[in-house]
Structure formats: C-alpha cells, structure tokens
Amino acid sequence: MNNISRRKALTSGLATATGFAGIAAAARLARRYRLIPPDSGGIYGPGETLTYAAQRILTAHSLAREFPRSMISKVPFANETSPRNEAFQRLQASGFKDWRLAVDGLVANPVSFSLADLRRLPVHSQITEVVCEEGWSYIAEWIGTPLVEVLKAAGILPPARYVVYFSTDRDWWDSIDMADALHPQTLLTWAMNDGDLAVPFGGPLRLRVPRQLGYKSVKYITRLTAADSLKGFGKGLGSASPEGGYAWYAGI
Ligand SMILES: Nc1nc2c(c(=O)[nH]1)N[C@H]1C(S)=C(S)[C@@H](COP(=O)(O)O)O[C@H]1N2
Ligand SMILES: [Mo]
C-alpha cells in the first residue's frame, strides 16, 4: 500500500474505533502497521497504543511550536537534577574538552564525537518550550546539531527503528522512534540563549525533543544507540519513564 492510502486506511480505522471494542480494534490495526509503543502492555497499554498510533499517523512530520525571540523566558527554570558524579565533575573542571558522544548500534561506522566535532556539523537553532509533566514550562532558544546529522555521519542503517540515548545520570535514559530521531527539531543541544549550555540545563550536551514532554529531553548525553527493538534495554519498556509510571511516548 502506498503511504497515502495506508494513512487513509489507518486514520479511518482509528477514527471509527471508539469505545471498548474499538480500542482493541485500534490495537490490532496499530500492530499491523508496527505502531506499537514499547510500553503497550499492562492496564494503560491499549491507551498508550492508541495515542501513539494516532499521533504518528496524523502528525509524524509536524513541527513543535516555535516562538518569537521576545517570548524567551527571562528566568528559565532548571528543574532539580540528581547530583553529578565524580567523573562528570572531572570533565567539567577541564571545560568538557574530553566530553565524548559515542554513536553505535545499527550504524555503518560507529563513531565518537567531541563537542568540537559536533560543532563542525550543520548548526540549527530554535525557540521552543520545555514542558514538564508536573505543570511548569519555559521558553528558550536552543542551539546545536540536529540529531539527523549525527546519524547520517555514523551511517544509520535501514533496520534501525529507534534511537536510544544515555546520560551520565544512569537513571536517565530514553528512546525515540525514527519519526522523532530524524525530525529537524530534534537537536543535540550545546548552546542556549546567549551562551554555552549551562550544566543545570543539561550542559554540555542535551537532546532536546521539543515535540514531547520535558522528560524526554535528557541532559548530559554521552551515548546514542540505533536499535531495531527496545526489548534489550532496561526492562524493555523503552526508557526509564515507563519503569516509573510515565508514558514512553509523551507527545505534546
Ligand atoms: N539527566 C537528566 N535529564 C533530565 C532530567 C533529570 O533529572 N536528569 N529531568 C527531566 C525532566 S522531568 C524535565 S521536565 C526536564 C526539565 O528541564 P529543565 O531542567 O531545563 O527545566 O529535564 C528532563 N531531563
Ligand atoms: Mo519533568
């Protein structure tokens, strides 16, 4: 089926799928088109599947809202994060010159980038909002290297369906599907507003995923893995968030 008729079949299917039986029907449809999120099991599973599948069909390429410069928050709010470990502090003491971003998994050339390497790739900036599930938000300009550029440089391979990303905070890891990984606003951010990305905001390197809630924008990124399945990571639910009761897919 071509993309448009596939999309039509899927949206009309999901649209008529209302109510109890409907959710099961939508889940069957989603499975057929491989739109099953990794946290599809359990009580909330059918709802997660419905949300993710419907969002992907209707808005796979849409842009997160961008704001004018005049709306940048005067006092951006850095959420409290867990204490940095010693290795992080050593890297910070030398101005992060030895910070590395490793890219591996389903790529033709596993590579490791320094921050200087990243800055030599095409640069993108956007003024978007960080939205926390706890109800607060702020707007800032984010400047960095689109994730797609890094994936291209590493030679991402066709079987890849997800990018899993890891932080120096071991409890913080997450993943996104290829629609978000290749999206122009998904940004390996190394600068914010008028300067380098400060540590409380995730410096030296944060993955900003502005089409999803703040918790998907993990700070202190050190490694990316391209994978065809999320089963082998953590408890197999796609990220640390569903392990703690939040949705894997957190589209806004
Ligand atoms: N490494 C790491 N990344 C993180 C967090 C964290 O505690 N550690 N908190 C997440 C949550 S829940 C939110 S809402 C945003 C908050 O971003 P901010 O600190 O820039 O406001 O960062 C996300 N990324
Ligand atoms: Mo959050």
Average pLDDT value for the chain:
89
> pLDDT, tens digit, for every residue of 119-175?
999 999 999 999 999 888 999 999 999 999 999 999 999 999 999 999 998 889 999
| Ligand 2 center from residue 131 Cα (angstroms) | 7
| Ligand 1 center from residue 149 Cα (angstroms) | 24
Contacts (Cβ under 8 Å, ≥6 apart) of 206 = 188, 189, 197, 217, 218, 219, 220, 221
The secondary element (H helix, E strand) that includes residue 196 is strand 195-196
| Ligand 2 center from residue 183 Cα (angstroms) | 22
Domains of the chain: 3-59 (no CATH), 69-243 (3.90.420.10)
Q: What is the mean pLDDT of the segment spanning 19-30?
A: 70
The amino acid sitting at 91 is L
* Peptide bond just before 204 cis, omega within 30 deg: yes
Of ligand 1's atoms, which has the minimum distance to the CA of residue 132? Answer: 14
Q: How confident is the model at residue 15, as a pLDDT?
A: 47
- Report the first-to-last Cα separation within the chain, whole angstroms: 29
| Ligand 2 center from residue 66 Cα (angstroms) | 20
Tokens of 180: 């978000």
Of 177 and 4, the structure prediction assigns the larger pLDDT to 177
Q: Quick one: what percent of the chain has pLDDT higher than 90?
A: 69
Distance between CA atoms of residues 191 and 194, nearest Å: 8
Nearest Cα residue to 211 out of 55, 56, 63: 63
Strand-strand pairing, 187-192 and 195-196: antiparallel
Residue nearest to atom 8 of ligand 1 (CA): 81
Does the C-beta of 218 come closer than 6 Å to ligand 1? yes
Contacts (Cβ under 8 Å, ≥6 apart) of 215 = 132, 133, 174, 241, 246, 250
Give the pTM.
0.89
E strands along the chain, which residues?
A: 100-105, 111-114, 124-131, 137-146, 162-167, 173-177, 187-192, 195-196, 206-208, 221-227
Strand-strand pairing, 100-105 and 221-227: parallel
Judged against a pLDDT cut of 60, whether residue 206 lies above it is answered with yes
Of ligand 1's atoms, which has the minimum distance to the CA of residue 138? Answer: 21
pLDDT band for 80, please (50, 70, 90 cuts).
Answer: confident
